[in-house]
Structure 1
Amino acid sequence: MKDTKSMIYPSSMLCFAPKEAKRKKKAGPAHLQCINVRYDGYGPDRTHVPLQRISWIKSFPRYMPSQYTSEDVLSKPQWADPPMDSPKVRVPAYNQLDGPVDRRSHHGNYKLDEGVPRNPRGRTGMIGRGVLGRWGPNHTATPIITRWARDKTGALREVEGKRVLETVAVRSRTGWALPCELVVPEDKSVFSLLGFGTRRAFLTELVRNKTRTAAEDASKSLSQLFAEGTVIYRGYVDDAKNTDNAWLETVSVNFHDNSGTKFGSFRLAEDFTWVEAHFSLNVFAQHKEWLREVVELHRAHW
């Protein structure tokens, strides 16, 4: 498979040029996780949306979505837009770079409905921002950190003649999930792709019981490991937190330690772990699709 160099988009947030596996461009998933359920599994009820009425091009004259924006978002934290009814609030510059905040979508320009963005994937049964801070796309990063699995003797593990991949994962409410965090607009380092939690996964143990010089050298080495990666996916995320006016998008990048001597030298924080990437792994549906692509990229066992 031929690779081509490409800047990760939104380019204002990330400052290195990973390889991007050349593959057929995808339109992004339908959002089945965020319709006809309680909001994000515990919030208010959504208005029922029949599958044939999700698309905005389908007539739905009786559509009366419920409205919800969490108190955490309305408290005006730094990571959220202020309420539209706040005094002297500035209307965000949608579909463009708005100061440090990138409001562009990976799928092109989105439409506005009564002055606020409209979810490009269709109706969700809820208006407002839910627990998401930004109107429109809320950009996240999903690093897929991999290495080759080994047995107790240190030999490469194989199944049916193919090597087995391990990936860094975190426990979710239903199984496993890849690390996925909001991109911090002000952070223009290579670590902005990883998010604070993923950085902490490596750096928490990294700085313990080390001299300052040793810690700085190790941090520099880790930074070099994340200087390049292969883009697996960028676009809409089918997530239970999405609403008609706010949704998640991500850039998923594979960082692979082929020698097994790089990431393995860093001890993970206790809420992160290495798990084998295979078909029966209980992982969030879209994450599983990306893992499968990574496995295919490295010709590993699935």
Structure 2
Amino acid sequence: MELEGKPEESRPPCHVLARNLLYPGSHTRRFPVPDEKVPWEVRAPPRCHPGRNPMGRTGLRGRGRLHCFGPNHALHPVVTRWRRNLDGSIIRKSLKKMLEVLVAQYPLSDVWALPGGSLEPGETLPLKLKWILRREFWPQFQNLLKQGTEVHKGYLDDPRNTDNAWVETVAISVHFEAQNDVEMKRLNSFLQGCDPELCIRWQVLDKRIPLHANHKELLRKVSALLGAYY
């Protein structure tokens, strides 16, 4: 009973995805790093030379598939609305309101993801987000982000991370409380529908949602913020 209400303690103390043995999009394999050898302060085998990753060893040096050494900045908007019955009433599960979240499936990808990603230097919206929004809605979406709530800022456990390059993201909750929210209707009308290989949808949000594992962690934080079912 002592652990009840303390979900933070049940989660791994160090990055996990950043130690996946097979590096994504390649045949490169990482040097296996057990949990106890992740911190830089702990002595490790010679192949695990010190790097700059703030969370510790990943088993791979270099830049990998990331754009630059050191932090690679990203932005992940988590756009949600309440899940409703046909009569407009909010659907509940285990007494908690249920959410729907906006997700996208990009060309050449077999998984769904939050509509965000890497930020190029000087850019305020990720290319992947611009891809799903028509250009005329970009300024309005930036306003929505300014009004949103930051749920995460900093290191993101990502399979592309290495000892010398890693992802740091800002995740912002953009929640539409009302069923007839004008901004939500505008957003829906400006979602890009012309690319047949790009799929966009509102997906029921719970822990079984078929999303990247690191994106699911951001959804967990948004659910906690809104007191919603997860």
TM category (shorter chain) comes to: 0.7 to 0.9
CA distance change for structure 1 residues 29 and 231 in 2, over 3 Å: closer, same or farther? Answer: farther
RMSD: 2.7
Could you say which residue in structure 2 is the equivalent of 1:239?
158
The whole-number CA distance in structure 2 between the counterparts of 1:224 and 1:143 is: 12
Q: For structure 1, which segment, 132-141 or 144-153, has the greater mean C-alpha deviation from structure 2 after superposition?
A: 144-153
Q: Secondary structure at the match of 1:52?
A: helix
Are the counterparts in 2 of residues 41 and 240 from structure 1 also a CA contact under 8 Å? no
| Counterpart position of 2:122 | 186
Judging changes above 3 Å, is the alpha-carbon distance between structure 1 residues 165 and 127 closer, same or farther for their aligned structure 2 residues? same
Match 1:255 to one of 149, 174, 199? 174
Question: SS of 1:127's equivalent?
Answer: coil
Q: Is the 8 A contact 2:80 2:102 kept in 1?
A: yes
Instruction: Report SS of the residue matched to 2:152.
Output: strand
Contact 2:14–2:38 (CA under 8 A) maintained in structure 1: no
Judged with a 3 Å threshold, the aligned counterparts in structure 2 of structure 1 residues 174 and 57 are, in CA distance, closer, same or farther, namely: farther
For the structure 1 residues 221 and 300, does the alpha-carbon distance in structure 2 shift closer, same or farther, using more than 3 Å as the test?
same
- Asked whether the 8 Å contact 1:144–1:254 carries over to 2, the reply is yes
Match of 1:76 in 2: none
Alignment: residue pair count: 209
Give, as a single letter, the amino acid of the residue that structure 2 aligns with 1:272.
I
Distance 1:271 1:186, change over 3 A: same
Note if contact 2:58-2:162 (Cα within 8 Å) is conserved in structure 1. yes
Aligned-residue sequence identity (percent) comes to 33
One-letter amino acid of the structure 2 residue matched with residue 300 of structure 1: A
CA distance in 2: counterparts of 1:244 and 1:294, whole angstroms: 29
Q: Structure 2 CA distance, aligned partners of 1:51 and 1:300?
A: 32
Query: Could you say what secondary structure the match of 1:276 adopts?
Result: strand
Which whole-Å CA distance do the structure 2 matches of 1:220 and 1:62 have between them?
50
* Structure 2 residue matching 1:289: 3-state secondary structure: helix
- The residue number in structure 2 matching 1:272 is 200
Structure-2-length-normalised TM-score: 0.78
Which stretches in structure 2 are left out of the alignment for 5+ residues?
Answer: 1-7, 193-197
Shift of 1:60: 1.8
How far apart are 1:285 and its partner, in Å?
2.7
Given candidates 281, 289, 295, the residue that maps to 2:209 is 281
CA distance, structure 1, for counterparts of residue 116 and residue 13 of structure 2: 17
Whether the 8 Å CA contact 1:29–1:236 is kept in 2: the answer is: no
Would you say 1:129 and 2:63 are equivalent positions? yes
Aligned to 2:15, what secondary structure does the other structure show?
A: coil
Which position in structure 2 is the counterpart of 1:85? none
Unaligned runs of 5+ in 1: 1-23, 66-112, 205-215
CA distance in 2, matches of 1:197, 1:50: 34
Distance 1:289 1:149 in 2: 20
Asked if 1:147 is matched to 2:81, the reply is yes
Q: Indicate yes or no: 2:36 matched with 1:32.
A: no
Cα distance change, pair 220–133 in 1 and its aligned pair in 2 (3 A): closer
Alignment partner of 1:52 is 2:49: no
Contact 1:231 1:252 in 2 (8 A): yes
> Which of 1 and 2 has greater Rg?
1
The alpha-carbon distance between structure 1 residues 224 and 60, as it changes in their structure 2 partners (threshold 3 A), is: closer
Alignment CA distance shift 1:286-1:221 (3 Å): closer
